[in-house]
């Protein structure tokens, strides 16, 4: 059983137990972070810790660890993983208390971290690309907080799978925002579009890496959500996340994107991404 950390103790994952009164369980009153590692080294650790701190501050949980303590937990778990690549999942809830919506007083946060195996690449992901369906964004207005309250995302992802697609892309007021667990890039008439980092999307760390690469490669770029019509007429579509990196989407709602093959800009960005690891 893989190694984990719970409230100050390192132990096997199957020995970690949390009360049913934990507010993470009862209310989804918790935030999380997922930090990938390559060859035993955490990728973009500073950015992940900064986002974790921001998520905690936004929902008013005192950060229970210093950056050095977080780093020590992450590095110790990485050292115990039996593979060179993987990820560390961290979750902080508002703690255990009698069920009441109001914040409990003097309750310690529940701090949990576990290792995750690097997921196998989806069959054909690199040479054929992935398929997506579009769905209405039914989430709340604080999608920038990396909260464990993910019911809308779970329902959308399930809808995608039941439509034989890999991911669902959310549309709000005619704008392409992001996937259920990924950010979205649309190339339309040679310009790359991605939604700006506001309250309507999760500010993906991989998204930021890809934006850096787009700038380095001097590709035409606007930080603005593409319209649904631009998505339907796109030259290329990509998704990004910590465990998927940057993958091409070649089918939207059953229709091919351009010629249905991963496009030339994606090839450039994908190759540049591999050099970052
Ligand atoms: C809704 C949503 N958007 C985007 C992402 C991608 O973020 P990152 O690149 O930091 O993994 C995630 C990751 O979990 C997500 O849940």
Ligand 1: which atom is nearest the Cα of residue 242? 11
CA of residue 203 to ligand 1 center, whole Å? 7
Torsion of CA 142, 116, 156, 239, to 10 degrees: 80
Tens-level pLDDT at each residue, the chain (277 residues) = 799 999 999 999 999 999 999 999 999 999 999 999 999 999 999 999 999 999 999 999 999 999 999 999 999 999 999 999 999 999 999 999 999 999 999 999 999 999 999 999 999 999 999 999 999 999 999 999 999 999 999 999 999 999 999 999 999 999 999 999 999 999 999 999 999 999 999 999 999 999 999 999 999 999 999 999 999 999 999 999 999 999 999 999 999 999 999 999 999 999 999 999 9
- Residues with catalytic roles: 146
Q: Cα angle vertex 200, ends 194, 114, to 5°?
A: 90
**pTM (2 d.p.):** 0.98
Q: Is the CB of 55 under 6 A from ligand 1?
A: no
How far apart CA 181 and CA 244 sit, in angstroms, is: 10
Q: Which residues contact 81 (CB under 8 A, 6 or more apart)?
A: 2, 3, 37, 40, 115
Q: Which residues contact 139 (CB under 8 A, 6 or more apart)?
A: 152, 153, 170
CA of residue 202 to ligand 1 center, whole Å? 6
CA of residue 91 to ligand 1 center, whole Å? 15
Whose Cα sits closest to atom 12 in ligand 1? 181
Query: For a pocket test of ligand 1, which of 34, 242, 243, 247 has the largest count of ligand atoms closer than 8 A to its C-beta?
Result: 242
Assess contact for 122 and 130: CB atoms under 8 A: yes
CA of residue 194 to ligand 1 center, whole Å? 14
Tell the residue number behind the tokens 């319209």, with chain if given: 227
Q: Is the CB of 206 under 6 A from ligand 1?
A: yes
Domains along the chain with CATH numbers = 3-117 (3.30.470.10), 130-276 (3.20.10.10)
The torsion angles phi and psi of 33, rounded to 5 degrees, stand at: -150, 150
């Amino acid at each position: 059983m893989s190694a984990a950390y719970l409230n100050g103790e390192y132990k096997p994952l199957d020995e970690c137990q949390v009360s049913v009164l934990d507010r993470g369980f009862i209310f989804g009153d918790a935030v999380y972070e997922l930090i990938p590692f390559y060859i035993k080294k955490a990728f973009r650790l500073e950015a992940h810790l900064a986002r974790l701190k921001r998520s905690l501050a936004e929902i008013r949980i005192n950060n229970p660890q210093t950056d050095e303590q977080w780093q020590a937990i992450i590095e110790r778990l990485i050292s115990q993983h039996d593979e060179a690549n993987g990820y560390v999942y961290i979750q902080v809830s508002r703690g255990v208390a009698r069920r009441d919506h109001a914040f409990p007083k003097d309750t310690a946060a529940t701090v949990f971290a576990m290792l995750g195996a690097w997921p196998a690449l989806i069959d054909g992901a690199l040479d054929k690309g992935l398929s997506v369906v579009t769905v209405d964004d039914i989430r709340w207005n604080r999608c920038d907080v990396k909260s464990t309250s993910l019911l809308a995302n779970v329902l959308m992802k399930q809808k995608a799978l039941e439509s034989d697609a890999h991911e669902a892309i959310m549309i709000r007021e005619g704008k392409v925002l992001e996937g259920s667990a990924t950010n979205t890039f649309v190339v339309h008439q040679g310009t790359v579009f991605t939604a700006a980092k506001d309250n309507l999307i999760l500010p993906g760390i991989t998204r930021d890496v890809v934006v850096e690469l787009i700038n380095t490669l001097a590709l035409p770029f606007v930080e603005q959500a593409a319209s649904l019509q631009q998505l339907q007429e796109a030259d290329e579509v990509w998704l990004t996340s910590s465990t998927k990196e940057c993958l091409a989407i070649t089918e939207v709602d059953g229709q091919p994107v351009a010629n249905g093959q991963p496009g030339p800009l994606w090839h450039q960005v994908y190759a540049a991404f591999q050099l970052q690891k």
